[in-house]
């Protein structure tokens, strides 16, 4: 079998030479794990992601620990993190308590997270949209005054499991508020992964009409319907150059049952590198990171590129790519995955139950119905 360098590069005019990948796996990915991942594993994941060339790695959240127990170890994580110069480690903060915790850890980048819909604002933040913005205003003001950079997220920009289609005007209004309060960028979240490419073009155009250009925007697509890569590439064509993705396709949101993993960083890099767009990421090293993480979690990555490049590499080495259960073997073929990772512990039942009821597993629309 012939082997050749992949992806093959074909440049296209009108595209940027370089983009910023905003890696969200350690936060958006691990916040949705059914089990507690040890802090040391999280720290090692982040170090490996930086080693693969990612310069912005969203590390964790300083939210109420009873709401997201998976990330309750934020302080301990920052104690373990090496922070090389030039690498950004943003974190989510919902309120002043979260900001104070983050600043005590020396965090330089924070994100507030608003919603384009009332239903999700209430489920995710226990507040109306207006109350949530009122909670964020002093957080953003204090962070900016202290020299921090602040990103705003807007969730449910393209569809909401409780409200259906989301009018672009709702997204525009929340984005304007966040930028006016002092955010330097707003990431448009397709929390449940239902967006299609025409919607993306129309939303970026609607924002442009009120003077919000793509330089103020990032995009954040979950991949529920397999549209995340197409949507991200269309956003790049529209001028957006900060792109959220999650190594190996980890991800979801504990308060929206229909939110599956984010766009896999490897799938994004394969597409961008094929267009000759520089990401700073070493794709082979990143695939190794996701294989390693898959072994930690005891299940394979859903990323097509991780799967294909893993098979390609193991075919070249003459070793099997997966064990008998279809789980990936490490790239060097040295060890099979442990049957159940001993270090990953179950979350307390009460908090899992609370997350289920807040996200509406019992009363809200089912995953299949979205």
Point out which span in 27-35, 58-66, 86-94, 133-141 binds Mg ion (CB under 5 A): 27-35
- For position 124 contacting ligand HMG by CB under 6 A, the verdict is yes
Which residue of 19, 23, 26, 28 would you call a contact of ligand HMG, by CB under 6 A? 28
Question: Which CB sits closer to ligand HMG, 319 or 367?
Answer: 367
- The yes or no reply on residue 28 touching Mg ion (CB under 5 A) is yes
Between 132 and 295, name the residue whose CB sits nearer to Mg ion. Answer: 132
Is the CB of 223 or the CB of 266 nearer to Mg ion? 223
Residues in CB range of 219: below 8 A, 6 or more apart: 187, 188, 190, 200, 231, 232, 235, 240, 242, 243, 244
Q: Which stretch binds ligand HMG (CB under 6 A): 9-17, 55-63, 167-175, 270-278?
A: 55-63
Distance CA 154, CA 191 (A): 9
Element (H, E) at 92: strand 91-92
**Structure-block tokens of residue 316:** 């070249």
Indicate whether 73 belongs to the interface with Mg ion (CB under 5 A): no
Q: Give the bridge partners for 346, in sequence order.
A: 35
Residue 311 within binding range of ligand HMG, rule CB under 6 A: no
Residues 144-183 that bind ligand HMG (CB under 6 A): 153, 155
- What is the footprint of ligand HMG within residues 253-272 (CB under 6 A)? 253, 255
Enumerate residues 6+ apart whose C-beta is below 8 A from 366.
257
90/96 Cα distance (integer angstroms):
16
Site string for ligand HMG, 220-249 (x = CB under 6 A): x-x---------------------------
Confirm or reject binding of residue 59 to ligand HMG (CB under 6 A).
no
Give the range of 44-52, 80-88, 122-130, 272-280 binding ligand HMG by CB under 6 A.
122-130
Size of the chain, expressed as the number of residues it contains:
370
**Partner whose footprint covers residue 155, from ligand HMG, Mg ion, none (CB < 5 to 8 Å by kind):** ligand HMG
Residue 156 CA, chain-centre distance (Å), reads: 14
Give the span between the Cα atoms of 369 and 186, in whole angstroms.
Answer: 29
Q: Report how far residue 331's alpha carbon sits from residue 314's, in angstroms, rounded to the nearest whole number.
A: 7
Residue pair 326/337 in contact (Cβ under 8 Å)? The answer is no
Active-site amino acid positions: 253
Distances (CA, A) of 331 to 270, 281, 302, 313, 314: 18, 18, 16, 7, 7
Binding stretches for ligand HMG (CB under 6 A): 28, 31, 61-65, 67-68, 92, 94-95, 97-98, 101, 113, 124-126, 153, 155, 189, 191, 220, 222, 253, 255
Binding stretches for Mg ion (CB under 5 A): 28
């Amino acid at each position: 079998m012939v082997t050749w360098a992949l992806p093959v590069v074909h440049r296209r005019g009108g595209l940027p030479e370089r983009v910023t990948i905003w890696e969200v796996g350690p936060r958006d990915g691990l916040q949705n794990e059914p089990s507690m991942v040890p802090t040391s594993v999280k720290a090692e994941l982040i170090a490996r992601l930086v080693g693969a060339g990612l310069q912005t790695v969203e590390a964790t959240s300083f939210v109420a620990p009873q709401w997201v127990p998976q990330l309750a170890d934020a302080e301990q994580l920052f104690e373990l993190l090496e922070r090389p110069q030039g690498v950004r480690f943003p974190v989510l903060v919902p309120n002043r308590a979260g900001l104070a915790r983050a600043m005590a850890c020396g965090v330089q980048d924070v994100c507030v997270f608003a919603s384009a819909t009332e239903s999700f604002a209430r489920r995710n933040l226990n507040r109306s949209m207006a109350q949530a913005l009122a909670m964020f205003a002093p957080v953003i003001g204090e962070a900016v005054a202290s020299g921090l950079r602040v990103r705003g997220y807007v969730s449910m920009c393209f569809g909401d499991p409780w409200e259906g289609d989301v009018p672009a005007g709702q997204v525009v209004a929340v984005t304007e508020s966040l930028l006016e309060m002092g955010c330097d960028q707003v990431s448009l979240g397709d929390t449940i992964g239902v967006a299609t490419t025409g919607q993306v073009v129309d939303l970026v155009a609607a924002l442009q009409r009120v003077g919000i250009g793509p330089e103020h925007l990032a995009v954040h697509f979950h991949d529920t319907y397999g549209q995340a890569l197409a949507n991200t590439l269309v956003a790049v064509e529209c001028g957006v150059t900060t792109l959220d993705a999650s190594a190996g396709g980890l991800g979801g949101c504990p308060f929206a049952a229909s939110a599956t993993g984010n766009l896999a960083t490897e799938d994004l890099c394969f597409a961008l590198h094929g267009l000759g767009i520089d990401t700073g990421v070493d794709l082979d090293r990143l695939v190794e990171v996701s294989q390693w993480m898959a072994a930690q979690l005891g299940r394979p990555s859903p990323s097509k590129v991780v799967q294909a490049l893993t098979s390609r590499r193991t075919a070249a080495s003459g070793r099997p790519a997966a064990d008998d259960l279809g789980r990936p073997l490490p790239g060097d073929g040295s060890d099979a995955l442990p049957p159940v990772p001993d270090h990953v512990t179950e979350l307390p039942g009460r908090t899992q139950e609370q997350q289920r009821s807040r996200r509406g597993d019992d009363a809200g629309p089912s995953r299949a119905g979205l």
